[in-house]
Amino acid sequence: MKSIVFTLFVLTQLASADITLRFWKNNSCGGAKQECSQPGEDFGFCCTSEKPFCSTGDCVGCRNGNDIYGFNRAACGGGALTACREPGCCISLGDSNTCALIMEIGAGSQQLPSGNFTFTNRDGEQTKCKGVRYPHKMTFSDETGEEHVIFMPLGTMERANELVMADDWEQLKKEFPKYSKSHGQQHDYTQLDAEFKARQEAEEQEERQKTADKS
């Protein structure tokens, strides 16, 4: 009985901890970074970014048994480019134009899939992405070496990245507010989640119809 209670406690802790997926400009998870914070109940959502923050990625708050998957495209479907289960690991995102990170609780004692990285839940079952998330926070150092942390409102990431690519730090500081706790952990995704769910249900209905037509 005690072992069952302990197991449930561990799984609850793995699922409930807040995490932050980070996209880095440099190799080895260094330099400027973008952050995508996710409350504990929000795991399983795909966070996407774009060049120049598609070099490497990591996770703050992920624990032993959490699986992190990296993609060299702006989606978490199909096979991943890289995967890791060790806390504190830094994974490659392929230096592509777009990239994505996702965390799943993990498949327990099962090994990470080899060859085709498809993400799984704690029962080892393949899972679907619940929705899309975007970084809301960026940390960078200007030409003097001073560090700045800015807030990126939903829909402004592309503009912020353009300024980073141009090394236009002064304009970046002018256009984007300093990050503060009042900005919250993440964006309001109510509308985006509803749209994502509607698309997913439509795709599933289409697949069911195709199967029915064949039978």
Structural domain boundaries, residue 52 = 1-215
How far apart, in whole angstroms, are the C-alpha atoms of residue 91 and residue 72? 11
H or E stretch at 57: strand 56-60
How many angstroms separate the CA atoms of 35 and 38, rounded? 10
The pLDDT tens digits along the chain (215 residues) read: 444 433 333 444 444 468 899 999 999 999 999 998 876 655 678 899 999 999 999 999 887 767 788 999 988 877 788 888 888 899 999 999 999 998 876 654 455 554 444 555 555 555 566 778 899 999 999 889 999 999 998 889 999 999 999 999 999 999 999 998 777 666 666 666 666 667 667 777 777 777 777 77
- C-alpha span between 28 and 13 (Å, rounded): 28
- Per the structure, how many domains does the chain have? 1
Note the pTM of the prediction, 2 decimals. 0.76
